[in-house]
A and B are shown apart, each in its own frame.
Chain A
Amino acid sequence: MAETDGSLIQRCREGDLEAFDRLVEKYQGRLYHSLVHWSGSHEDAEDIVQDTFVQAYRKLDSFQERSAFFTWLYRIAFNLAVSRSRRKKPEQSLETRVEEIGEEVAAADESAERQALRAEQVEQVRRAIAQLHDDHRAVLVLRELEGLCYETIAEILDLAPGTVRSRLHRARMQLRELLKDMLVEPLPD
Chain B
Amino acid sequence: MSRESVEERISAYLDGELSAAEKVEVERALATDPSLRHLHDELARMRQLLQALPRATPAGSLRNSVREAIGDSVSSGQPVESATQSSANRRRPRRFWRWGAAITVAAAAALLLVFPWVQNAIEPEGHASREAIEETRPDRPQATGDVAVPFAADLEESSAGESASAGMAGMGDDSAEDGAVAGGGGGGFGLGAGMGPGGVEGSLADKSGVAESLVRPSHALTGDPASLDRLLDTLTREGTIELVGTMPVEVAARMKPSSGRRSVAEVPQPQSRSLAMRAAVDERKKSTHLSESKNKGADAAAAAAKPAAPVTRAGNEPMAILGQGQTEASGSQMPVMVVRGTRQEIASQLKWLLRQPNVELLVIASRPQPATASATEQRAMKRKRAQADRPQPSAAQRAEPAIGLGHHGGKAKTERALKGQAEKQAEQPMAMRLETYDKKRDEQQPVLPAESENLQRRRLRLRIRLELVAEKGEKLPTATGKKP
Contact = CB atoms under 8 A, between A and B. Distances in A.
A49 interface: yes
B250 A91 contact: yes
A59 B277 CA distance: 18
A169 interface: yes
Interface in B34-56: 42-43, 45-56
Most buried by A among B17, B358, B455: B17
B73 A75 contact: no
B66 A53 contact: yes
Q: Which interface class (under 10, 10 to 19, 20 to 34, 35 or more) fits A? A: 35 or more
A61 B81 contact: yes
A169 B8 contact: yes
Contacts of A82: 183
B188 to A, nearest CB: 9
Contacts of A166: 8
Interface in B173-189: 173, 175-187
Contacts of B357: 89, 91
Contacts of A140: 50
B50 A103 contact: no
Interface string A173-186: 10110010011001
B458 interface: yes
A55 B270 CA distance: 23
Given A24-B62, A75-B180, A62 B185 contact: no
Interface in A119-155: 121-122, 125-126, 129, 140, 143-145, 149-150
Nearest to A72: B180
B199 interface: no
A47 B83 CA distance: 23
B416 to A, nearest CB: 40
B274 interface: yes
Interface in B320-361: 357-358
B8 A79 contact: no
A115 to B, nearest CB: 12
Given A24-B61, A51-B276, A76-B180, A36 B56 contact: yes
Given A87-B456, A165-B11, A165-B12, A125 B53 contact: yes
> Chain B: interface secondary structure?
loop
A76 B167 CA distance: 14
Contact of B458 (A88, A149, A175, A186): A88
A172 B11 contact: yes
Contacts of A42: 56, 58-59
Contacts of A36: 56
A43 B66 contact: no
Contact of A50 (B8, B57, B66): B66
A114 interface: no
A125 B56 CA distance: 14
B54 A122 contact: yes
Contacts of B186: 51
Given A59-B179, A84-B183, A140-B50, 15 more contacts: A32-B56, A47-B272, A47-B274, A55-B168, A59-B181, A64-B179, A67-B178, A72-B178, A72-B180, A82-B183, A89-B456, A165-B8, A173-B7, A182-B49, A183-B45
19 contacts: A32-B56, A33-B56, A45-B58, A54-B166, A54-B276, A61-B83, A72-B176, A78-B183, A79-B181, A79-B182, A79-B184, A83-B183, A83-B184, A87-B454, A91-B248, A101-B56, A105-B54, A150-B17, A187-B52
Interface of B: 7-8, 11-12, 15, 17, 42-43, 45-59, 61-63, 65-67, 69-70, 73-74, 80-83, 86, 166-168, 171-173, 175-187, 248, 250, 270, 272-274, 276-277, 357-358, 454-458
